[in-house]
Amino acid sequence: MFTAIQAPEYSKYNTVLDEMFRLRKKTFYAQLKWNVSVQGDYERDRYDELNPVYLIWCNQDATVLYASTRLMPTTGPTLLYDTFRDTFPDAANLSAPGIWEGTRLCVHNENLARDHPDVSPLRAIGLLSVALAECAYAHGIDTIVTNYEPYLKRIYASAGLAVEEIGRADGYGRYPVCCGVFEVSETVIAQMRAKLGLTGPVFGRHDQTSDQRAA
């Protein structure tokens, strides 16, 4: 299932959130070599203490993680302004109630291959992106801003998501980090579903199997 976990529900989803922080260390610290905050087996930072929303793809018992990302309002502290400020021009105002930041997107390749062998990691990112757009639209968010390495833009495009790159900068890891924004609307969501061959929404559904055909 794809579900959004808010602060009052953290304890309910403790198992899958624990796995998420472990995956984040493996992805961003060990693999991408980003300069991130590591605490033992976890990658956590100060924004995780600000009650963000975690969008999770997990099994129905919420004990096995397949993919995740973190959502935060741009009206408060964000990685975008505090860490990745060099990735977008000074004239760009990306702080507004309708703009949210999406960060720390990662896929648990081992769990995915074991439980969903017909879903590639690239398709998993696409499915999570659709769920993100659906979740945002349901909560009145009209724009998502995110930082990503250049190769991810091709993956977003393969999911029908037109991310507009507004800047990029070096010095954060092995590759440049880009800043991109994308619109959240019924039209965008319909385009993404069509591109991925989905027959309906994925966010909030408990049975995803009929819509997870391989890319």
- Assess if residue 209 is contained within a domain: no
DSSP 65: E
Q: pLDDT by residue (tens digit) across 1-39?
A: 999 999 999 999 999 999 999 999 999 899 888 888 899
Q: Once rounded to an integer, what is the mean pLDDT over residues 33-51? A: 92
Q: Is the pLDDT of residue 211 over 80?
A: no
SS3 category, 117: coil
Give this prediction's pTM. Answer: 0.90
- Give dist(CA 158, CA 196) in Å, integer: 8
Q: pLDDT by residue (tens digit) across 51-96?
A: 999 999 999 999 999 999 999 999 999 999 998 889 998 888 899 9
| Number of domains observed in the structure of the chain | 1
- Assess if residue 168 is contained within a domain: yes
Q: Is the pLDDT of residue 210 over 60?
A: no
Amino acid letter at 24? Answer: R
Q: pLDDT by residue (tens digit) across 97-118?
A: 999 999 999 999 999 999 999 9
* 209 exposure class (CB count in 10 Å sphere: 0-12, 13-18, 19+): exposed
Structure-block tokens of residue 165: 């790159």
- Assess if residue 116 is contained within a domain: yes
Amino acid letter at 199? Answer: T
Q: Is the pLDDT of residue 212 over 60?
A: no
Instruction: Categorize the per-residue pLDDT at 129 as very low, low, confident or very high, splitting at 50, 70 and 90.
Output: very high
- Assess if residue 89 is contained within a domain: yes
Altogether, the residues listed in the chain come to a count of 215
Instruction: Categorize the per-residue pLDDT at 205 as very low, low, confident or very high, splitting at 50, 70 and 90.
Output: low
Q: Is the pLDDT of residue 215 over 60?
A: no
CA distances from 210 to 54, 119, 147, 207 (A): 24, 12, 31, 8
Output b/e per residue, 110-145; b: 16+ Cβ within 10 A: ebbeeebeebbbebbbbbbbbbbbbbbbeeebebbb
pLDDT at 108: 98
User: What range defines the domain where residue 66 resides?
Assistant: 2-204
CA distances from 179 to 21, 103, 164, 165, 170 (A): 23, 11, 8, 6, 12
Q: Is the pLDDT of residue 213 over 60?
A: no
Report the CATH number at residue 139: 3.40.630.30
SS3 category, 67: strand
Radius of gyration of the chain (CA): 16
pLDDT at 36: 87
- Assess if residue 210 is contained within a domain: no
Q: pLDDT by residue (tens digit) across 132-172?
A: 999 999 999 999 999 888 988 888 888 888 899 999 998 87
- Give dist(CA 149, CA 147) in Å, integer: 7
2, 204 in Cβ contact below 8 A? yes
